[in-house]
Amino acid sequence: MKEILEQFLVTYFNFLPPELLVIIVSATPILELRGGIPLGLGFGFSFWKTLILALCGNILPILPTLILFQPLSKILLRYRWYKRFYSWLYGRTVKKSDNVQKYGALGLILFTAIPLPTTGAYTACVAASIFALPLRYSFLSIAAGVIIAGFGVSLALFSIF
């Protein structure tokens, strides 16, 4: 699915500058840094250029997601399709976020920093909302986790290629 989504964005948005594509792919749920950094590498960008663009893209949606998730969910929970999605998302997030509940902001950093499927910035925003963590701490923790994950993914990919 990740490859299909990335290929769709690159194919249909190829009129955009490659730098902007890296930012967009990094800001996209599911892809995030794990899609943006390889894309920057594929465009031949340097380590630092790729890292900065991917970090900007992945940090960009954190604050709007933290602010809008709960109010939008309250509105959308009237619909059966969203109730099913929300229940699935809630269950999956709670199952994967024991450390967030236990350690708060520090747990949120660790949750975001581990670059595994479903442990990125978007899921961390959902976890922060579910556990009612303060906005400031949530944003800073998730951004710190994104930076740590960005360095890890970049170092891994750039050392391989």
pLDDT score of 1 more than 90: no
pTM of the model: 0.88
Query: For residues 60 and 42, what is the distance between their CA atoms, to the nearest angstrom?
Result: 22
In the chain, which residue ranges form alpha helices assigned H by DSSP? 2-12, 18-27, 32-42, 47-59, 62-76, 80-96, 98-103, 105-113, 121-130, 135-160
Q: In the Cβ-directed half-sphere of 132, how many Cα atoms lie within 13 Å?
A: 0
Q: What is the pLDDT of residue 119?
A: 81
Q: What is the pLDDT of residue 38?
A: 93
Kindly state the average pLDDT of the residues 17-36: 93
Of 105, 132, 109, the closest CA to residue 120 belongs to 109
Provide CB contacts within 8 A for 72, sequence distance 6+: none
> Which DSSP symbol is given to 127?
H
Identify the residue with better confidence: 152 or 2.
152
Of 111, 132, 119, 101, the closest CA to residue 29 belongs to 119
Kindly state the average pLDDT of the residues 100-115: 86
Query: For residues 146 and 155, what is the distance between their CA atoms, to the nearest angstrom?
Result: 14
What's the gap between Cα 37 and its chain centre?
13
How many percent of the chain have pLDDT more than 70? 98
Kindly state the average pLDDT of the residues 142-151: 97
How many percent of the chain have pLDDT more than 90? 65
pLDDT-derived band at 101 (thresholds 50, 70, 90) equals confident
Distance (Å) of CA 117 to CA 29, 37, 58, 83: 11, 15, 15, 23
Provide CB contacts within 8 A for 12, sequence distance 6+: none
Each residue's pLDDT tens digit, 128-139: 998 889 999 999
